[in-house]
Amino acid sequence: MLEWLLYLDYRLFTLINSHWSNSFFDFICPLIRNKYIWLPLYVFLFSFFIINFKRKGWLIIVFIIVTVTCADQISSHVLKPAVKRIRPCNQEILAGNIRMLVNCSNSYSFPSSHASNHFAAALFLIALLAGRRKWLSVLLVLWAFAISYSQVYVGLHFPLDIIAGGLIGSLIGWAGGSFFLKYSEQIPFAVSNKKQQ
């Protein structure tokens, strides 16, 4: 069972990294997975929370940072050292058959910290919206997925790495957002999951 799953993982990696490649993705994927490209978005979100919600805004920011930090620590410092999966760009079996669009890292591969961190942030914000603004929820999931997919495309992670990272981050993000809503004062844009009459 495990061998079959790993075979599919390798096969899907090869498809994404090599066979489904094009010049546009070659340009955009290294940018999307670069954390610095999103700094303007983070500054905008933090400014939005602070300007519109004052002290509540600061509390939201603190909870987001704590939630993402938890996701990062669990993926990077607990699971990666435990699993010790070698990145695709460092595996001999793939030597000569991989397209590297960024520098390879010597850290372990499973799970993807990029996926866990960004899905944690996305699901925290989705939980905060409590079922409203569905278009924004879809946009947040697509944002986290695009960053995660790019990690496979550039050659740094296997698909199973980002799937696991995405699931871990989603659970932590949803838990963080739900905890915030339950134990903090009600914030103006958070509403009940119950349908409005």
Q: Each residue of 26-61: pLDDT tens digit?
A: 999 999 999 899 999 999 999 988 998 888 888 899
Separation CA 185–CA 67 (nearest Å): 18
pTM, to two decimals: 0.88
109 token code pair? 């591969």
Q: Where are the domains of the chain?
A: 51-183
Residue 40, CB half-sphere, CA atoms under 13 Å: how many?
1
CB atoms within 10 A of CB 183: 7
Q: Each residue of 88-147: pLDDT tens digit?
A: 989 888 877 889 999 998 899 999 999 999 999 999 999 887 667 788 899 999 999 999
Separation CA 44–CA 122 (nearest Å): 15
51-183: CATH topology is: Vanadium-containing Chloroperoxidase; domain 1 (1.20.144)
CB atoms within 10 A of CB 96: 5
